[in-house]
Amino acid sequence: MTKSVVLASASPRRTALLKQMNIAHTIQPADIDESPRLNETPLSLVSRLAAEKGLAVKAKLASKQTLTDDTVILASDTLIAFNGQSVGKPENKADAKRILTMLSGNTHEVLTAISVLNNTRQQTQVITTSVTFAALTNEQITAYWETGEPADKAGSYAIQGIGGEFVVSINGSASAVIGLPLYETRQLLNEFGVVS
Ligand SMILES: Cc1cn([C@H]2C[C@H](O)[C@@H](COP(=O)(O)OP(=O)(O)OP(=O)(O)O)O2)c(=O)[nH]c1=O
């Protein structure tokens, strides 16, 4: 039986990546509280948020009576880990400047969790990618904020956009940094019978 894939995300990057994989899907964004718990590690946080986004959408579909045995939900979360701290989207210009100053000239980790679930089970996986930034000047950081690109991105940058100019090297999955690791997503969707 053909599976019906529901992407639990409002991110245009994630739907573009899923389309790139040629996987037909519908979109049902998850609206959850993304605040970290006390002393929660970046790994636990990213994994919990992806899993909770998936469960929230499952509950929404169940309440609308559109959850069937063939429904497969895919949820994801991306955050940056630097010095053991989780860094999400910037709150405002000052916060983006603080984050980019911190990442300047340093290596950070981008953590992306994917969570796939159906009526009976859920599997969650975290993909870690190292990204090394060039040293950035204050002028560069301010000019970058003005482009509008950093506002809705974890770590205040987009590797697929203008922010790619700051990246000296990357070790890991480029698609995971943008929001959905293509290789691991296909593997997990295969385990849920979506692709062969
Ligand atoms: C580091 C980095 C992040 N990002 C994006 C990916 C994610 O969309 C976003 C991190 O925020 P998320 O909270 O993971 O996702 P989202 O709010 O955009 O969408 P949803 O929760 O509905 O799935 O940052 C890039 O596009 N490029 C990058 O280089």
Write phi, then psi, for 20 (nearest 5 degrees).
-55, -30
Tell me if residue 170 falls in helix, strand or coil: strand
The pLDDT score that the predictor gives to residue 25 is 97
Question: Nearest C-alpha to atom 8 of ligand 1 is from which residue?
Answer: 11
| Helix 93-103 × helix 138-146 angle, to 10° | 130
Q: What end-to-end distance do the CA atoms of the chain give, in Å? A: 13
The pLDDT score that the predictor gives to residue 98 is 98
Give the Å distance between the CA of 81 and the centre of ligand 1. Answer: 14
**Minimum-distance ligand 1 atom for the alpha carbon of 80:** 1
Is 42 a pocket residue for ligand 1 (Cβ < 6 Å)?
no
The pLDDT score that the predictor gives to residue 138 is 98
Give the Å distance between the CA of 11 and the centre of ligand 1. Answer: 6
Residues that are catalytic: 77
Is 108 a pocket residue for ligand 1 (Cβ < 6 Å)?
no
Q: How confident is the model at residue 127 (pLDDT cuts 50, 70, 90)?
A: very high
Is 13 a pocket residue for ligand 1 (Cβ < 6 Å)?
yes
Write phi, then psi, for 167 (nearest 5 degrees).
-90, 115
Residue 1 pLDDT exceeds 80? no
Instruction: Identify whether the C-beta of residue 119 lies closer than 8 Å to the C-beta of residue 53.
Output: no
Which pTM does this prediction carry? 0.97
The pLDDT score that the predictor gives to residue 196 is 87
Distance between CA 73 and CA 115 in Å, rounded? Answer: 8
Distance of CA 80 to the CA centre of its chain: 10
Q: Which domains does the chain have, with CATH numbers?
A: 4-191 (3.90.950.10)
Q: How confident is the model at residue 9 (pLDDT cuts 50, 70, 90)?
A: very high
The pLDDT score that the predictor gives to residue 19 is 96
The ipTM estimated for the assembled molecules is 0.96
Q: How confident is the model at residue 124 (pLDDT cuts 50, 70, 90)?
A: very high
Distance between CA 159 and CA 178 in Å, rounded? Answer: 7
Structure tokens at 169: 């090297």
